Chain A
Amino acid sequence: GESVGLHLPTLSVQEGDNSIINCAYSNSASDYFIWYKQESGKGPQFIIDIRSNMDKRQGQRVTVLLNKTVKHLSLQIAATQPGDSAVYFCAENTGGFKTIFGAGTRLFVKA
């Protein structure tokens, strides 16, 4: 039968272009929002986080934007590379230890 994985939202970008991955969250009380990257056969790996009282945070080649008005989070990857191909999850961190993951977006980077 058809794999559930084929229903994962997908973003395809050309190598060198910028990527923008979006996420909608539900809990206004979340303290932090975190982006994880999951490569095939591996567990999710931390990329960057943002505290709920901030609207932008930059890391190395990545920027996270938080819009609390519309409960929207985005991850921007500059100069996307083949090694960036993976599934990206946003996660809400609430009450210290509670972490809830979103459904994920698969990023394909075309050489």
Chain B
Amino acid sequence: EAGVVQSPRYKIIEKKQPVAFWCNPISGHNTLYWYRQNLGQGPELLIRYENEEAVDDSQLPKDRFSAERLKGVDSTLKIQPAELGDSAVYLCASSFKGSGANVLTFGAGSRLTVL
């Protein structure tokens, strides 16, 4: 099992440029999350998908951020245009909710630096 796979691992762009991050969740996990993690802080939810439906996008800055999860598997998070404050690590996670706690499996993250 490869785990949650994210790419790219690192991205450096100038402000106002677009950027996209890709995530492949664990096979069979129908719930997918995008979190943003600023330096020294805990992850903050941007959007959650149940299969291909975005069920919680209340924290997604919709003026510049967009996400999609076509076919309910892979997902892409896009920022256009990027701002200096978008520099962070973008984490993708997936889960399969059984009867216990909802345990998230995270990818290694995509570190974005906006210059």
Interface presence of B38 (CB below 8 A):
yes
- Which of these binds chain A: B11-19, B64-72, B95-103? B95-103
Number of interface residues of B (CB under 8 A): 29
Closest Cβ of chain A to B44, distance in Å, is 7
Instruction: Give every chain A residue within 8 A of B44 (Cβ-Cβ).
Output: 101
Contact with A along B23-54 (1 / 0, CB 8 A): 00000000101000011111111001010000
Whether, in the assembled complex, A29 has its beta carbon less than 8 Å from a beta carbon of chain B, the answer is: no
Decide if B42 touches A89 in the complex (CB within 8 Å).
yes
8 Å CB interface, A83-110 against B: 89, 91, 93, 96-104
User: Do residues B109 and A43 form an inter-chain contact, with CB atoms below 8 A?
Assistant: yes
Give residues 27-53 of A contacting B (CB, 8 Å). Answer: 31-32, 34, 36, 41-46, 49, 51
What residues on B are CB-neighbors of A93 within 8 Å?
A: 101-102
Q: Which residue of B lies closest to A9 (CB)?
A: B40
Contact across chains for A8 and B108 when beta carbons are under 8 A apart: no
- Cβ-Cβ contact count across A and B, 8 Å cutoff: 74
**CB interface residues, A 2-35, toward B, < 8 Å:** 3-8, 31-32, 34
Q: Which of B41, B91, B103, B108 contacts A41 (CB 8 A)?
A: B108
A-B contact pairs, 27 of them (CB 8 A): A3-B40, A4-B39, A4-B41, A5-B39, A32-B100, A32-B101, A41-B108, A42-B106, A43-B106, A43-B107, A43-B109, A44-B43, A44-B104, A45-B106, A46-B103, A46-B104, A49-B100, A51-B100, A93-B102, A97-B31, A97-B50, A97-B97, A98-B45, A99-B102, A100-B45, A101-B42, A101-B44
The 6 closest A-B pairs by CB, nearest first: A43-B106, A101-B42, A5-B40, A32-B101, A49-B101, A4-B40
Question: CB within 8 Å of A: which residues of B?
Answer: 4, 31, 33, 38-45, 48, 50, 55-56, 91, 93, 95, 97, 100-109
